[in-house]
A and B are shown apart, each in its own frame.
Chain A
């Protein structure tokens, strides 16, 4: 293969890896927005907590990869449910801005709670034997394969749950208008809890994979990644599951391409400028639509 093609294939692979992690987190933002029209600004920090759960499971419990991942997903899912019950549920009928401020507060709490317990960055032990294959000049690591395949697998499962199961149907009904959902015999609070559990669990999975790919973690790692995932969700059309995935892969792709052409310090500046331009052209995002309701 020519050097040019090899270079671009390598970049596409890198973009897929980054995009899958953004996508897993973006799904949580978009699901919570879809169901409560609220931006859960603590979500990036749930991702960070996921990385720390991964650290604890791997070092304190000495677990291998699969149980570490499972435990992290369960732990963050539970955290998501607790956050919603304690912090957001009491404000469900309060003005939107109260809920947003509360979410920012929960995020700060998670960051500083973690900082108090773990003042120095932590190193994640290599949980997987990292094999690197050379495919005609393109290097592919086993970690990359796992991150991309696992993320895509989780996204396919989620898409199935949302579009093909009764729970997913209930979520979509609530996202339209939750006023009359109880008349169907559906417990709205339970469905909201399930939504938070799924969103936070996916962020936990993303935290684990991110920690394996970039094995130094700190309490503030969720802020920038969280913003990027949130922006992915908006670019895709917030509230739209497939949109969040598309937005995340676009952002991952744009970031990798920018670093291919510009100094790496230009990355976020150029990437975000492009995304702002996209939002100006399509204010509701790629798959988002202004809703029209018949009375």
Chain B
């Protein structure tokens, strides 16, 4: 009994019976999962399994049926731009960098709803400490950054909104292996600092290594779930996603 109550208190995000349609095509059907405070939860699956749709629904970018509850509040009727203010930061697929704005402006954009000027300055310093490259390029148009630097900017920008839950959509996409390892190390650091992480990845190997728990998606539904390490050893996961 006490364990159940403990879990309820720690429950940060609860997704239940999530359905998403695009132009009449069902992208998600009946997806349910939970994320507890302080966890790294990963959603893995092939291209088109519906991972991105889940994150877009949580952020309010895509209409859905079913329920998404964040820290006890139902997000169904909350407009997308207010969800950030509630504590959810989203690094979208393809990074979503505004290439015509400078690095600094991209970071500043994410503080739109914040009024705590001194704290914002502290967060700039924090981002520039984590990613010194961004400091060097702060006045450059972000469209001139390399792919890896843009990914750093996207993560840095998400930190500027001070979300308690960080949604990451394919942070390793298009990056060299060395940069992938660096990004994953940063994700772990951010998690250590108290931010919950919901990570969508095609690089299942890396994701399962850092995740507390994982859900495996196939054609819009959860087919398997468990602890990250556990799934690394699961023969079905091995065969389908780890290329073993």
Contacts and interface: CB of A to CB of B under 8 A. Distances in A.
B98 A173 contact: yes
Interface stretch (B46-54, B105-113, B118-126, B200-208): B105-113
Interface residues of A, number: 22
A183 B99 contact: no
Contact of B81 (A169, A173, A176, A186): A186
A179 B61 contact: yes
Given A176-B101, A294-B143, A185 B81 contact: yes
A55 B92 CA distance: 51
Contact of A177 (B79, B98, B105, B157): B98
A212 interface: no
B98 A176 contact: yes
A177 B97 CA distance: 9
A188 interface: yes
A173 B59 CA distance: 18
A217 B31 CA distance: 63
Nearest to B147: A294
A187 B100 contact: no
Contacts of B110: 184-185
B60 interface: yes
A182 B101 contact: no
A179 B96 contact: yes
Residue from A166, A169, A176, A180 having most chain B Cβ neighbours under 10 A: A180
A186 B108 CA distance: 12
Given A173-B109, A187-B79, A294 B150 contact: yes
A136 B150 CA distance: 59
Contacts of B60: 182
A295 interface: yes
B59 A183 contact: yes
B80 interface: yes
B164 interface: no
A10 interface: no
B100 A175 contact: yes
B90 interface: yes
B57 interface: no
Nearest to A292: B143
Interface of A: 166, 169-170, 172-173, 175-177, 179-180, 182-188, 291-295
Given A172-B101, A172-B105, 4 more contacts: A173-B100, A183-B90, A185-B82, A185-B113
Interface of B: 59-61, 79-85, 89-90, 92, 94, 96, 98-101, 105, 108-110, 112-113, 143, 145, 147, 150, 157, 161, 174
